[in-house]
Chains A and B, each alone.
Chain A
Amino acid sequence: MLTPPPSASKTPPMISMREISKSFPGVLANDRIDFDIFRSEIHSLLGENGAGKSTLMKILYGFYRADSGRILLDGKPVAIQSPNDARAVQIGMVFQDFTLIPAFSVAENIALFLPDLDTIVDLKAVSRWIEEMSARYGLRVNPDAMVYELSIGEQQKVEILKLILSNSRLLILDEPTRVLAPHEVDALFQVLYSIRQDGYAIILITHKIKEVLECADRITVLRNGGVAGSLVRSNASEDKLVKMMFGRKLSGLKTGKKVIREETALPILELQNVHSHGEGAETNLEDIDLKVYPGEIVGIAGVSGNGQRELGDVVLGMIKCVKGTKHLFGKDVTNSSIQKLRRSLVGFIPENPLTMAAAPFMTVLENMAVTKTWHYALQGGLTMDWQAIKADVENTMERLGFSFSLNIPARSLSGGNLQRMIIVRELTHDPRLIIASYLTRGLDVQSTIAARQALIQARGGGAGVLLISEDLEELFLLSDRLIVLYGGRIVGSFKPEETNFYEVGHLMTGSEVQNAANT
């Protein structure tokens, strides 16, 4: 059933996972999964959110214990009960959220991770070693640079270097391209190819079919906790993989005709010369000029941490403008309360539904009511009109094709359903302005289409949308205008058809200037 890659046809697999099962309360995350990884191959683990990819890999890395099943290293069973055990058998993992210490230099971070670190640390030797290895694999980083000075792409390089220097022979990369701009993705793949040549095995967890077809040698598709199939790349095609991932063909998104807006129309939202002062880890916004017209989706592109979250919060009023003005429907709302903005029908879908928008111990229905308590209050607030709330919510759920239970605590919803809950809540009352951050995070493909469709529908109804995302495909698909944020400033403003992924990607990572200097 499993075809080994041609180069490794005679060698046994490095790691075999056999009949791995793992269940969490209410979910069978992994159901008797068989998985092989050979030396010198890039093996892509493809699947939707919730298909069980991360669980399987966390079992391999010793984060979780499998309920049943075996792991074989070169044909011999091994017990991997902790990440330490995993590292002892040369398995390393790069997590989605990096584990580097920002205040340490690259060399210090890597030295900390080395298994056989001397009592007296010879950082110079470590640095030399880093330089040697980074030259060999095209992972150029300055060992003396502080990690907080590095871009996300560079931090990822450090994470990979860290694993290589600590003798890992199998690298598990969890959604490595999520935070990267397109040209950085290309660079990452080049690095992976050169590592592969030296006999390293690489597992790439992802849900992006295009990337898989570009760089993987072999592809295993997971669906609903089971293996949907395993292919060599030459046998794979986009259609085949989609069918394996979802078990069916998908209905497409109807982007509809973009409404041609009148330039003379009053913008729904207008930010003029807005500055904000970030607290703690927040980014300062500087000199933001932005207009959202009725019937328009304005996409905000940027690598996470460049001011997108702050931008959404400034519009909502969570963060104060220290300079500049904010107008909603032509009215000055620079210092208005969030309450007032919410009452002017501003919908807000934040990047993290659980921490930023929901009360975990309240029921879903109660969570639905909290943005509109004034609307549903009866007898001046002595009771709430729960019937009306339920009717409105169910109406929207039906329109979007979402379904989830209303009478359970919000915290018992899965991540995807939580996101659906927030989308339903924020779209229930036909908001005039929608601020949507990472709209489709955690959603399966079907729901993603429904959520995007809902935004397009809202636009058709004359609403303005501020769509904040890292997913360039989504932004190009939906936006009427595209704005790029970098370091809290607007560094580019385009119509999507007048630009391309690479231009935007360079702007997102702040590398445009250097490129211009080179040419």
Chain B
Amino acid sequence: MLPIRNAIKRSGFVRQKTVNAVVRYIFMMVLAFLLFGIILLISGKDPIQSYKDIFSSTLGSAYGFSEVIVIMTPLLLTALAVALPSRIILINVGVEGQLYMGACFATWGALAFGDLPAGILVPLMILLGMIGGSLWAFIPGYLRAMGIVNETITTLLLNSVAPMIVSFFIFGFWHSPMDTNKTPNFSPSARLPTLFNTRIDLSLVFALVLLTLFWLVMKYTRWGLEMKAIGGNPQAARRNGIPVKLYLISIMCIGGAIAGLAGMAQVSGFYGVLLANFSRGIGFMGFLISWLAGGSPLGIILTSFVISIIISGGNLLQLTINLPYAAINVLLAFTLFVVLARPNFLTQRKEA
């Protein structure tokens, strides 16, 4: 009798908490949009019309929606590349660099083995991309595990190195005779298949599968438990016989591999060619998304979706009402501020 009553009480409590959280996040979004509305007003645009445009262009049509998903796909992967290491308190700021290295390795596969059929070449490129990303992540992971340098610093510093390596290859060995800043276009067999006749490619499936796997691993497996233990108290985990160093290195590498996969998907799926500076901050955006979402898989999907709407709508506003793209960054920044500040309107009750 008593356990049942407790369970009911607890489930009610949990439901109440979820409702509060949802209301709170909606409220935060509204606040961000209100603030941005003021900016729009100041710059002489009609905020209501702008917002209408944003939503009708993204959620209002199948095409618009598919474009949102296209933007969201790499963000899911890069956010996961941050969220996984964050579970054992590794701060992977280097997704951007790992993404470039993944793209670089995958491009080598595409250019060197362009004659292979897609059924072999694409998996090969996926493998190469993941190897590239994980090798790049191995450096900070190893240095951290040996207690030499903090991974936050090394991953950040390596970010500016990776694009240069990419540029080195683009402007050197892989230079396309026609263009200045890209490689030759990939052969059709080096392209990731697209889905539903849209620009959405197969990497969306990878991302969703990986996010689900991430959730399952953390919830059910021995490795998830050990990672939780490391994240909960690294010192205690070491004393309890969990191979912390091994985890630090391998989880960092897996994170890098996921980032590399995102890079591979960008060149193979989205562009079909390796461009210098192709990423435009996908890695950093993934970092933000992961932290906003608290590293939870569902949170990553929701946050990525919202941010993709803003980005996609911003692209449109640029065209229709001639809004500078920087203004969209202002909206993104507002969103971040409001979410990070987590204004506490609903729960005014005592907190011990």
Question: Measuring CB to CB, which residues of chain A are less than 8 angstroms from any residue of chain B?
Answer: 25, 316, 318, 337-339, 341-343, 348, 350, 355-362, 366-367, 369-371, 373-374, 376-377, 381-384
Contacts and interface: CB of A to CB of B under 8 A. Distances in A.
A493 B289 CA distance: 60
A359 B352 contact: no
B280 interface: no
A371 B228 contact: no
Contacts of B237: 359, 370
B232 A360 contact: yes
Most chain B CB within 10 A, of A318, A350, A362, is at A362
Given A25-B352, A355-B233, A384 B240 contact: no
A259 B220 CA distance: 45
B43 interface: no
Contacts of A359: 228-229, 231-233, 236-237
A374 B225 CA distance: 11
Nearest to B240: A371
Contacts of B236: 355-359
Contacts of B241: 338-339, 341-343, 371
A88 B340 CA distance: 43
Contacts of A318: 238-239
B52 to A, nearest CB: 44
B235 A356 contact: yes
Point out which of A316, A360, A373, A382 has the most chain B C-beta atoms below 10 A from its C-beta: A373
Contacts of B239: 316, 318, 338, 348, 350, 356-357
Contacts of B352: 25
Contacts of A350: 239
Contacts of B228: 359, 362, 366
Nearest to B219: A383
Nearest to B234: A359
A144 to B, nearest CB: 38
B242 A373 contact: yes
A356 B239 CA distance: 7
A503 B279 CA distance: 72
Interface string B108-135: 0000000000000000000000000000
Given A338-B238, A339-B241, A342-B240, A360 B226 contact: no
A355 B234 CA distance: 9
A358 B233 contact: yes
Contacts of B222: 373-374, 376-377, 381-384
B168 interface: no
B221 A383 contact: yes
Contact of A384 (B225, B242, B243): B225
Contact of B221 (A25, A367, A371, A381): A381
B321 to A, nearest CB: 47
A381 B243 contact: no
A382 B240 contact: no
A350 B352 CA distance: 29
A370 B221 contact: no
A348 B233 CA distance: 16
B325 interface: no
A355 B241 CA distance: 15
Contacts of A342: 240-241
Interface in B209-254: 220-223, 225-226, 228-229, 231-233, 235-243
Nearest to B235: A356
19 contacts: A318-B239, A338-B238, A339-B243, A343-B241, A355-B233, A356-B236, A358-B232, A359-B229, A362-B228, A362-B232, A366-B228, A370-B225, A370-B242, A371-B241, A373-B225, A373-B242, A382-B220, A383-B220, A383-B222
B255 to A, nearest CB: 20
Contacts of B220: 382-384
Contacts of B235: 355-356
A360 B233 contact: yes
Contacts of A377: 222
Contacts of A337: 243
Q: Which 6 A-B pairs have the closest CB atoms?
A: A359-B232, A342-B241, A381-B222, A377-B222, A370-B229, A359-B233
A339 B133 CA distance: 29
A361 B232 contact: yes
A176 to B, nearest CB: 30
Nearest to A362: B232
Nearest to A343: B241
Given A359-B236, A370-B229, A383-B220, 13 more contacts: A25-B352, A318-B239, A337-B243, A356-B236, A357-B240, A358-B236, A359-B233, A362-B229, A371-B240, A373-B226, A381-B222, A381-B223, A384-B225
A384 B221 contact: yes
A109 to B, nearest CB: 31
B231 to A, nearest CB: 8
Contacts of B223: 381
Contacts of B226: 370, 373
A373 to B, nearest CB: 5
Contacts of A348: 239
A339 B226 CA distance: 12
A382 B232 contact: no
Q: Which of B226, B231, B239 has the most CB of A within 10 A?
A: B239
A468 to B, nearest CB: 14
Contacts of A384: 220-222, 225
A340 to B, nearest CB: 8
Contacts of A25: 352
**Which of the listed residues A316, A370, A377 has the most CB atoms from chain B within 10 Å of its own CB?**
A370
Nearest to A342: B241
A310 B239 CA distance: 13
Nearest to A367: B229
Contacts of A382: 220-222
Interface string B70-96: 000000000000000000000000000
Nearest to B220: A383
Contacts of B242: 339, 370, 373
A383 B225 CA distance: 10
A290 to B, nearest CB: 20
Interface string B6-50: 000000000000000000000000000000000000000000000
Interface in B174-231: 220-223, 225-226, 228-229, 231
A341 B243 CA distance: 12
Nearest to B232: A359
Contacts of A374: 222
Contacts of A339: 241-243
Nearest to B233: A359
A339 B229 CA distance: 14
A25 B352 CA distance: 8
A355 B232 CA distance: 10
Contacts of B225: 366, 369-370, 373, 384
A366 B229 CA distance: 8
Nearest to B229: A370
Quick one: which of B221, B222, B240 has the most chain A CB within 10 A? Answer: B240
Contacts of A357: 236, 239-240
B76 to A, nearest CB: 24
